[in-house]
Amino acid sequence: MTDSRTSNREQTPDMALRIAAELPYLRRYARALTGSQDTGDRYAAATLEAILADRSILSGDDTPRVALFRAFHLVWSTTGAPVETSSAPGLEQRAQTMLAALTPNTREALLLRTVEEFRHDEIGRIMQIPQDEAEELIVIALREMEASVRGKVMVIEDEPLIAMDIRNIVADMGHRVTGIARTRDQAVALGRKERPDLILADIQLADNSSGIDAVNILLKEMGDVPVIFITAFPDRLLTGEKPEPAFLIPKPFTVEQVRSAVSQAMFFATTETLVS
């Protein structure tokens, strides 16, 4: 009979390939969790180093995806999920300060569920907590974030039904939608008319103009405004090049995903966006 150590060695090449395929999504998660692309990338790199140093981290019956995120959380938890702000600049300092105010572990559970779409039982295995505790943490995170901030939201979306869905979700959360723009020029005009607290933008617009261009123009004029990008091809934006969007919602999206991203973007006021 082949023992587990031999089995693990035999699975290493295939596991390595499958882990590599999940890395862009680990980086996305780490970036959203820390509020910084640089910090998130450092944690993703530290996770890979930990795996190379001890392959047993990936042992067990979990899928490579769950195993990779569990390895990340081992690194994350051993560093104390840092909330020190003395050496962090600007918005990153604010993000870490706000993170420190949340109930411990709630944001991690929320991101794993809404951004990475893990099941509750998988979240429990990743965070090494019971499933019912994972479910409770998600509820607490949404309640704390949504209760903390209300603001004005601008929507850049060329599909009427999708735009209506987004507007209704945002309004139900207590935010005010300043308007809906279908093209880059409409978006710029709308932003100039009333400065939003958050921009929620599609990538491909009605006249083949770019939502990325619209956002970049507005940010140059308005300064720090958090942005959430929406796209049917999120993997195309997770290239490893800088900068990348801190908040990225795939199409088709769920109400839960939009609520989570809006709450976090407003809560942390991140301005990390994608430059075309």
pLDDT of residue 243: 53
176: β partners: 152
The span from the CA of 151 to the CA of 10, in Å, is 54
Which residue, among 146, 111, 84, has the nearest Cα to 29 in the 3D structure? Answer: 111
- List all residues 6 or more positions away from 144 whose beta carbon is below 8 Å from its beta carbon: 102, 103, 106
The residue whose two tokens read 């796209």 is: 231
Contact 46, 75 (CB under 8 A): yes
- Could you tell me the mean pLDDT of each successive run of 10 residues in the chain, 276 residues long? 42 72 90 78 92 82 90 88 48 60 85 88 96 94 79 94 95 94 96 94 89 90 87 70 69 89 76 41
90: left (phi over 0), alpha (psi -120 to 50) or beta: left
Name the DSSP letter for residue 60: S
Which residue, among 117, 74, 91, has the nearest Cα to 34 in the 3D structure? Answer: 91
pLDDT of residue 59: 73
Q: Rounded to 5 degrees, what are φ and ψ at 183?
A: -135, 170
pLDDT of residue 11: 47
Which residue, among 269, 256, 208, 261, has the nearest Cα to 230 in the 3D structure? Answer: 261
pLDDT of residue 201: 93
The span from the CA of 57 to the CA of 181, in Å, is 47
159: left (phi over 0), alpha (psi -120 to 50) or beta: beta
pLDDT of residue 271: 42
The span from the CA of 248 to the CA of 28, in Å, is 8
Give CA separation, 149 vs 145, 177, 244, 245, 257, in Å: 7, 14, 24, 21, 17
The span from the CA of 239 to the CA of 229, in Å, is 15
The span from the CA of 29 to the CA of 10, in Å, is 29
pLDDT of residue 95: 56
The C-alpha angle with vertex 250 and arms to 105 and 257, in degrees rounded to 5, equals 40
The span from the CA of 28 to the CA of 31, in Å, is 5
Token pair listed for 261: 């991203």
Which residue, among 70, 50, 63, 48, has the nearest Cα to 15 in the 3D structure? Answer: 63
The residue whose two tokens read 């004005």 is: 152
pLDDT of residue 190: 97
pLDDT of residue 202: 92
